[in-house]
Structure 1
Amino acid sequence: MNVRRLIPAAALAGAVALGATALTACSGASAAGGNTDGKLAVTASFYPMQFLAERIGKEHVTVTTLTKPGVEPHDLEITPKQTGRLGESDVILYLKTLQPAVDKAVAQSGVKNVVDAGALTELEAHAASGHDDHDHAAEGGDHATEGEGHDHDHGGAGKDPHVWLDPAKYAQIAKGVGAALGKADPAHAADYEKNTATLVTELGSLDTEFKDGLRTTASKTFITTHAAFGYLAERYGLDQEGISGIDPESEPSPARMKDLQGVAAKDKVTTVFFETLAGDKTAKALAKDTGLKTDVLDPLEGITDKSQGADYFEVMRSNLKNLQKALGAK
């Protein structure tokens, strides 16, 4: 004889809810990365990637970064333990060629969802000198052969990786990151799309602030220890003069220092910029020789308690303010 057993409605509802919860968890980090909180496990190579992941992913992601605050990203080394943990990620966000150690670790990670930010926009080559008609060789030195990095060759790729310092290009990357998170975690794709749209709008407003704030200036040239601002300079009609090219810690040649003294006098430069993650010794040396002031122009490769702001937008607006002051914005 068959006996039919009735399941109480409350118990049935609980079972359905439990099943739904399990499916939701499997759609996120717990399926691929072993993240038991059900969130998408995202590993970012350094701060600009971390910022995008946190702003777009919000409560649906757990974000870790390979480059800790205060560490110069270009010099990052990855331990075998970090490489192993990288393989537990659901999504990896990085910028190929910026950090060779990260490139190697990512290649070894075996992670399916890997996003190269450089592939989401067009990267360009930028010289340390923004003056197209500035003939360094004619002024007494072939600086390109003196370890100055004037062709901005990064990891042999020949492209400038500092694309996040152009808000418009950073917005393009944000769109790609949002799409990648939605693909990795379809259950929350609508939220990622909404958060991406909000961030892109904010970046558009920041772009407008820079355009308006730097439209009319007494000078268009700025000198910086780290030639990281080629995209920013190109976007807003400025000329970047990097003291030592791509490496903020490298020592410039006497010829380059002499060259910059001439640029400062010719282009009415008032300020030599340095950054928070590298020393200011070179900037102060040039400023002393030329009678210029020094100030901070942050390439936003990391946020520390010394940064002039708590996040990307605050630091970028501090950069704008410092540029306006140095260039004599009207």
Structure 2
Amino acid sequence: MNVRRLIPAAALAGAAALAVPALTACSGTSSTGAADGRLAVTASFYPMQFLAEQIGGDRVQVTSLTKPGVEPHDLEITPKQTAQLGESDVVLYLKGLQPAVDEAVAQAGVKNTVDAATLTKLDAHGAGSHDHDHEGAHGEEAGHSEEAGHSEGDGHSHGEAGGDPHVWLDPAKYAEIAKGVGAALEKADPGHAADYRKNTDELVGKLTALDTEFKDGLKNTATRTFITTHAAFGYLAERYGLDQEGISGVDPESEPSPARMKELQERARKENVTTVFFETLASDKTAKSLAADTGLKTDVLDPLEGITGKSQGADYFEVMRSNLKNLQKALGAK
């Protein structure tokens, strides 16, 4: 989403060197990471943290590398955090989303390391396009084949195979990841496997119900197209037959090109678009600029990369239901 700050290789190497003692001593599967005997789980950012907390319950001590309010893609790993990774019983992350985390995890060597990207199928959503190469790819029959021409376009690294990492915004895919996380916790702490299995089943049930809410809530709408500054909603759009249009290329806070602005104005008119969405962790300047030029409204569509006091809800489920409500309003759900 925002332009990432690059971390000097020397700094990463220094962090790794500082962490070596911890890495070699604490990468086993026993519950050694937490002083009170709980499983020490390190999550890369909020969606992974939420799964660990929901499935682990009081059996785990969860720490997130990405603090509330920090844009995940911009995260820089400190030597202390690299050491913390090595002391973890379980590490949960999503490869391709946070390059600094990918680097640190590769160096940590923790036995129970879970890459959420391996637990479900990642789709490209326009991977390989640059900036607005996807603009000419609008096929009505596909509905959303171009929806995330953001794979390179929003400045994110999207995995080795070019997959879009924003899978948690699709409740069905998030449920698949939840099952894999549950299995990893069972493996790391077999003495409490029954607890993890029960909590996983409950969470998957809630996610299945949320999926149904989205399907029913977005079944009949006046338009299927929505415009957003952060084109993170490719999976959500694909799951529910919507068409996502991202405004900007590398930086959603930058001004869109005149050609892109003109195209979006035409698209908004043709598709009866009413709303330009922005998010909670980035500026709404671009959204308001486009809205002012097209006579559209603005509203929040939260990519759920973190929860802050500005979030429209206290956890994943509350924010996703706020997203559904905002989409229903913008799309003219009947």
TM bracket (short chain) = 0.7 to 0.9
Contact 2:95 2:117 in 1 (8 A): yes
Q: CA RMSD in A?
A: 2.3
Q: Could you tell me how far apart the structure 1 residues matched to 2:212 and 2:290 are?
A: 32
Q: Could you tell me how far apart the structure 2 residues matched to 1:320 and 1:158 are?
A: 28
Q: Could you tell me how far apart the structure 2 residues matched to 1:150 and 1:71 are?
A: 17
Contact 2:99 2:157 in 1 (8 A): no
Question: Structure 1 regions of 5+ residues with no counterpart?
Answer: 1-25, 136-143
Alignment partner, residue 292 of structure 1: 296
Q: Normalising to structure 2: TM-score of the pair?
A: 0.83
Deviation at 1:302, TM superposition (A): 0.2
> In structure 2, the residue corresponding to 1:29 is in which secondary structure?
coil
Residue 115 of structure 2 corresponds to residue 116 of structure 1:
yes
Any idea what the Cα deviations from partners look like across 1:78-135, whole Å, max 9, x if unmatched? 1122111111000000000100000001011121110000000000011386984359
* Counterparts of residues 73-112 of structure 1 (less than 5 Å): 73-112=72-111
Alignment partner, residue 138 of structure 2: 133
Deviation at 1:250, TM superposition (A): 4.2
> In structure 2, the residue corresponding to 1:126 is in which secondary structure?
coil
Between 1:124-133 and 1:230-239, the stretch displaced more is: 124-133
Alignment partner, residue 143 of structure 2: none
Q: Could you tell me how far apart the structure 1 residues matched to 2:82 and 2:217 are?
A: 43
Alignment partner, residue 253 of structure 1: 257
* Correspondent of 1:199 among 197, 203, 210: 203
Q: Could you tell me how far apart the structure 1 residues matched to 2:204 and 2:186 are?
A: 16
> Residue type matched to 2:68 in 1?
P
Deviation at 1:260, TM superposition (A): 0.8
Deviation at 1:255, TM superposition (A): 1.5
Contact 1:225 1:274 in 2 (8 A): yes
Contact 2:73 2:156 in 1 (8 A): no
Alignment partner, residue 211 of structure 1: 215
Deviation at 1:27, TM superposition (A): 7.1
Contact 1:152 1:245 in 2 (8 A): no
Q: Could you tell me how far apart the structure 1 residues matched to 2:263 and 2:203 are?
A: 41
Contact 1:28 1:38 in 2 (8 A): no
Q: Could you tell me how far apart the structure 2 residues matched to 1:259 and 1:250 are?
A: 17
Contact 2:151 2:164 in 1 (8 A): no
Deviation at 1:154, TM superposition (A): 2.3
Distance 1:185 1:131, change over 3 A: farther
Quote the sequence identity (%).
Answer: 77
Residue 232 of structure 2 corresponds to residue 235 of structure 1:
no
Residue 168 of structure 2 corresponds to residue 164 of structure 1:
yes
* Correspondent of 1:263 among 267, 275, 282: 267
Deviation at 1:275, TM superposition (A): 0.1
Distance 1:75 1:150, change over 3 A: closer
Alignment partner, residue 317 of structure 2: 313
Q: Could you tell me how far apart the structure 2 residues matched to 1:169 and 1:27 are?
A: 27
> Residue type matched to 1:185 in 2?
D
Alignment partner, residue 57 of structure 1: 56
Q: Could you tell me how far apart the structure 2 residues matched to 1:27 and 1:114 are?
A: 10
Any idea what the Cα deviations from partners look like across 1:250-285, whole Å, max 9, x if unmatched? 442221111111110110000000000000000000
Pairs aligned (count): 293
Residue 306 of structure 2 corresponds to residue 302 of structure 1:
yes
Contact 1:69 1:304 in 2 (8 A): yes
Distance 1:156 1:257, change over 3 A: farther
Question: Structure 2 regions of 5+ residues with no counterpart?
Answer: 1-27, 127-131, 141-148
Any idea what the Cα deviations from partners look like across 1:126-147, whole Å, max 9, x if unmatched? 1386984359xxxxxxxx8x99
Distance 1:231 1:224, change over 3 A: same
Contact 2:56 2:199 in 1 (8 A): yes
Q: Could you tell me how far apart the structure 2 residues matched to 1:198 and 1:131 are?
A: 43
> In structure 2, the residue corresponding to 1:52 is in which secondary structure?
helix
Q: Normalising to structure 1: TM-score of the pair?
A: 0.84
* Correspondent of 2:31 among 14, 29, 33: 29
Q: Could you tell me how far apart the structure 2 residues matched to 1:315 and 1:198 are?
A: 19
Contact 2:151 2:157 in 1 (8 A): no
